[in-house]
Amino acid sequence: MHEHCHKKTAEFSWDDIDTVLLDMDGTLLDKHFDDYFWEQYLPEHYSLIHGISVEAAKKELLSRYCQVENTLAWADTDFWSRELGLDIPELKLRINHLIGVHPYVIEFLEFCLQMRKNLYLVTNAHASTLSIKLERTAIGPWFDRVVCAAEVGLAKEEPLFWEGLEKMLNFDRKRTLLVDDTEQVLFSAEQYGMGHLLFVARPSSRQRTRYSCRFPSIEYFKELLPR
């Protein structure tokens, strides 16, 4: 993903889509919460406990994050609570006022419902994080089902994840749209043969828009709504 990629516009017909799979963090919810939690709030807390500078804490945590990137452990709050000796869900709850839904998301969910699409939330997030976010945002009831990657046993970055999800939800891959803000996830879904792929170019309200060079991109779900 490069800063200078030009936007590719999504071109598909809703008539060709039965099922819509939506990622949570960055796609439906503003990723500012997650970025702030992992890059700022947790290092500050960690630095206090260990009597080290915030910079040193950031450096140490970043190298630990990198070791488990693109795996289920990365999103596993139990794993991090054990690893760091901290109650991660409790710390997330303390700043849950920062959890927010992106503009036009509710309108898009309503549109999918009206169009009678099968609608699934599919996230790498751990069950404890998911419950905090669903409670805060109340978006859960829009979905036919909410699936944590741990239920499949693989992260979404693994092409085999989608095979497992298909068995679980029984969708037609060619007639399915996946929307995600992680290119690696879209690459794995592409390998598996997912029919329609869409990249979210503005996952955080505090970051610049960055289009995918490979996949069609949207900044807001408004772009998918009938004009």
Which residues does residue 25 pair with via DSSP β-bridges, in sequence order? 29
Which listed residue (16, 87, 144, 172) is catalytic? 16
Neighbours of 206 (CB within 10 A): 9
Q: Alpha-carbon distance 20 to 112, whole Å?
A: 8
The residue behind tokens 């970051």 is 207
Nearest to 145 by CA among 115, 117, 121: 121
Judge whether 87 counts as a catalytic residue.
Answer: no
Which residues does residue 196 pair with via DSSP β-bridges, in sequence order? 177
Nearest to 29 by CA among 121, 145, 118, 117: 121
> In whole angstroms, what separates CA 178 from the centre of its chain?
11
> In whole angstroms, what separates CA 143 from the centre of its chain?
15
Contact in structure between 145 and 119 (CB atoms under 8 Å):
no
Would you name the residues annotated as active-site residues?
16
